[in-house]
Amino acid sequence: MEFRYLGNSGLKVSEITYGNWLTHGSQVENEIARESVQAALEAGITTFDTADAYANTAAEKVLGKALKNTRRASVEIFTKVYFPTGPNGPNDTGLSRKHIMESIDGSLSRLRTDYVDLYQAHRFDYETPLEETMTAFADIVRAGKALYIGVSEWTAPQLREASALATKLGFQLISNQPQYSMLWRVIEEEVVPASVELGISQIVWSPVAQGVLTGKYKPGQPVPEGSRATDSKGGDDMIKSWLSDETLTKVQNLQPIADDLGLTMAQLAVAWVLQNPNVASAIIGASKPEQIASNVAAAGVTLDAEVLTRIDEALGGAWERGADKTKSPATRLV
């Protein structure tokens, strides 16, 4: 496993982060989830990402139980706040001081820890003054409940304003967690340049495009049984935009490139996002423990300029761009 600094901080994270969105408390049984976390630890992963909203708090509980016998100082635990939890009352969502302060205590209890290494704003809240949000985060850092603060899916202007407020309030904004893959490159135009300027790293989710970049979805064929595309709990909605025969045909063009490098297509996809120097870590999930070791092999892989060009040619412009595609919900009452 290789490690990188997270933003302009002294915190090191593993190049591969284990994430439990759409798995723990949802897709897989708790015992398999525990085995997957153990497999991640054995593979050298030290960084674990979750959120209070995942499976309506159940994912945090599963992760906390799975890590209970692990030396706390040896792992980095990340969680998030914003989306509705509980019965979705008027203050059960968003980035108000009330919701943030109540949410951090709930997360710590479920995760069985006194602090999280990184506490992230899961989306931008247009309905709460940003200064209120950032002041609450500053107080959480001062209270020792979170060591660092990050965000997820924020635009470049939002990152700049939040970073300035954080500096004023005496702490650092060190990370952003966006979607990023060969097929989803929307952060490259504005978010990454702003982040480099501000000392913010990306912790990217869906580096294999919800499984499409593994090559298991074939053009002209039904989706595999039990795959993300058949998951009515959220996976099928996320993946459907990439399931056209045109896109799947282009993805199959990546197989010879992976073969030449002695990599699986999934390893190639994860290695690709890690070539961006602003990316500190790529988040992977797993529905079974044996998937972990395979994906971890992408850490430390270097893709030269010729390979990157071959990848672009193989995909033939199948990716999404456009800074306007980075956005948060217009309202926090969803």
pLDDT in tens, 155-190: 999 999 999 999 999 999 999 999 999 999 999 999
∠ CA(103), CA(106), CA(107), 5° rounding? Answer: 85
**Confidence at residue 111, expressed as pLDDT on a 0 to 100 scale:** 97
Q: Which residues contact 67 (CB under 8 A, 6 or more apart)?
A: 37, 48, 75, 77, 111, 112
Task: Quickly count: other Cβ atoms within 10 Å of residue 126's Cβ.
Answer: 15
> How many residues does this entry show for the chain?
334
CA distances from 94 to 69, 125, 227 (A): 33, 6, 31
Q: Three-class SS of residue 173?
A: strand
267-281 pLDDT, tens digit per residue, is 999 999 999 999 999
Which two three-digit tokens encode residue 2?
């290789």
82 is catalytic: no
Q: What percentage of the chain has pLDDT greater than the value 70?
A: 92
Q: Which of 5, 18, 54, 115 is catalytic?
A: 54
> Residue ranges of the domains in the chain?
3-325
pLDDT digits (tens, 9 = 90+) for 89-120: 889 999 999 999 999 999 999 999 999 999 99
Q: Select the CATH number that applies to the domain covering 3-325 from these four: 2.60.120.10, 3.40.50.2000, 3.20.20.100, 2.130.10.10.
A: 3.20.20.100
CA distances from 273 to 16, 18, 90, 99, 219 (A): 11, 15, 38, 33, 24
Q: Which of 191-200, 203-212, 220-229 has the highest mean pLDDT?
A: 191-200
Structure tokens belonging to residue 160? 């700049």
Q: What is the DSSP string of 159-223?
A: HHHHHHHHHHHT--EEEE--B-BTTB-TTTTTHHHHHHHHT-EEEEB-TTGGGGGGT-S-TTSPP
CA 311 vs. chain centroid, Å, equals 23
Q: pLDDT (tens digit, 9 = 90+) per residue, 218-261?
A: 887 676 665 554 455 555 566 777 888 899 999 999 999 999 99
